[in-house]
A and B are shown apart, each in its own frame.
Chain A
Amino acid sequence: MSKRLFDSWPEQYDRWFKTPIGALVKEYEQGLMVDMLRPRANERIADVGCGTGIFTQTVIAHGAEVVGIDVSEPMLGTARRMLPAVKFSPLAADMRALPFRDGQFDKTLSVTALEFVEDAASAIAELFRVTCPQGIVVVATLNSRSPWAQRRSAEARDNEQSIFRHAYFRSPDQLRALAPVAGVVKTAIHFTKDTDPQQARAIETAGDRAGLDTGAFIIGCWRVP
């Protein structure tokens, strides 16, 4: 993983969430994240791989205080400009080596950061270590079983600049196996980038009801022993 890789990424990443399909993706991903993390006022939450703070913003809107961790200082700079200073502290670190004492956070969140780390076991162990006993860890990553992953892998082969050249896509079972305790793991985003935005909601509802494990977004939630 290289921190430089992400330094030119903020704009492109934020622009995607403003397209019609990107906005739907954001809505479903954020909804699931809130359902699992259940952030509350004055909780202390670590957002590991916070990027420009797209998910952090939602956590802070629920009243929590967030330490935002990322390898990219430019991304952290963007996040800081967007978020209220009293609720947000940025810090540059590698998710495999977090600079916190054990059990300092009520809850820990990591959204689409794990796919840029080969040694996912060390990263997950760190998320559990910094979260207090009975606290909650929520991790979201991109699903290797989804058509989105296959498309991104194909794009990465053709484009040397693609961020996904450096990505490790994992399956729901692989994510389950990384956690030290049993938790809840599900997938979302059953439509694709080319789906007519008018039809995307119906496709998402059907995929969710069927309990498909091929959604682009895997999210897992665990209680720390």
Chain B
Amino acid sequence: MDKKLLEILVCPLCKGPLHYDKDASELICNADRLAFPIRDDIPVMLEEEARRIGDETPV
């Protein structure tokens, strides 16, 4: 994941901060409970492609 790109990224919906989960290759928005995948080194910041995080899952 490109560091310079990571610095300017926010959640596309709430524009809040993202948490980068390197092991899962995901960018996580805790406010919206969404995990955006990074596939083949391309961050996929589309709501319909994001994984919904259940309330029980700590992130």
- Do A and B make up one complex? yes
List, in ascending order, chain A residues with CB within 8 A of B55's CB: none
Report yes or no: A3 in contact with B46, Cβ–Cβ below 8 A: yes
Give Cα A27–Cα B43 distance, bound, in whole angstroms.
32
Stretch at the interface among A8-16, A53-61, A86-94: A86-94
B8 (CB) vs chain A CBs: closest residue: A104
Our count of residue pairs bridging A and B at CB distance below 8 angstroms stands at 52
List, in ascending order, chain A residues with CB within 8 A of B42's CB: 73, 76-77, 80, 90-92
Interface range on chain A (Cβ under 8 Å from partner): 10 to 19
Give Cα A18–Cα B5 distance, bound, in whole angstroms.
33
Q: Which of A90, A94, A100 interacts with B46 by CB under 8 Å?
A: A94
Report yes or no: B46 in contact with A98, Cβ–Cβ below 8 A: no
Give Cα A76–Cα B12 distance, bound, in whole angstroms.
18
List, in ascending order, chain A residues with CB within 8 A of B13's CB: 97
B44 (CB) vs chain A CBs: closest residue: A92
Confirm or deny: B28 has a beta carbon within 8 angstroms of a beta carbon on chain A. Answer: no
B17 (CB) vs chain A CBs: closest residue: A101
Q: Which of B2, B4, B8, B49 interacts with A92 by CB under 8 Å?
A: B49
Report yes or no: B15 in contact with A92, Cβ–Cβ below 8 A: no
- For chain A residues 92-109, which have a beta carbon within 8 Å of chain B? 92-94, 97-101, 104
Q: Which of A71, A89, A91, A101 interacts with B15 by CB under 8 Å?
A: A101
Taken residue by residue from 56 to 92, chain A's Cβ proximity to chain B (1 for < 8 Å, 0 otherwise) reads as 0000000000010001010011001000000001111
Give Cα A111–Cα B29 distance, bound, in whole angstroms.
30
Report yes or no: A97 in contact with B5, Cβ–Cβ below 8 A: no
Give Cα A108–Cα B46 distance, bound, in whole angstroms.
20
User: What is the CB-to-nearest-CB distance from A91 to chain B, in angstroms, rounded to a whole number?
Assistant: 5
Report yes or no: A93 in contact with B40, Cβ–Cβ below 8 A: no
Confirm or deny: B21 has a beta carbon within 8 angstroms of a beta carbon on chain A. Answer: no
User: What is the CB-to-nearest-CB distance from B20 to chain A, in angstroms, rounded to a whole number?
Assistant: 13
Confirm or deny: B45 has a beta carbon within 8 angstroms of a beta carbon on chain A. Answer: yes
Report yes or no: A101 in contact with B10, Cβ–Cβ below 8 A: yes
List, in ascending order, chain A residues with CB within 8 A of B53's CB: none
Report yes or no: A100 in contact with B43, Cβ–Cβ below 8 A: no
Given A67-B5, A73-B44, A99-B45, are A93 and B39 neighbors across the interface (CB < 8 Å)?
Answer: no
Q: Interface residues, chain B, CB within 8 Å of chain A?
A: 2, 4-5, 8-13, 15, 18, 36, 39-40, 42-49
Given A77-B40, A92-B42, 18 additional A-B pairs, CB 8 A: A3-B46, A67-B5, A73-B39, A77-B42, A89-B4, A90-B42, A91-B42, A92-B43, A93-B45, A93-B46, A97-B12, A99-B9, A99-B11, A99-B45, A100-B8, A101-B8, A101-B10, A104-B8
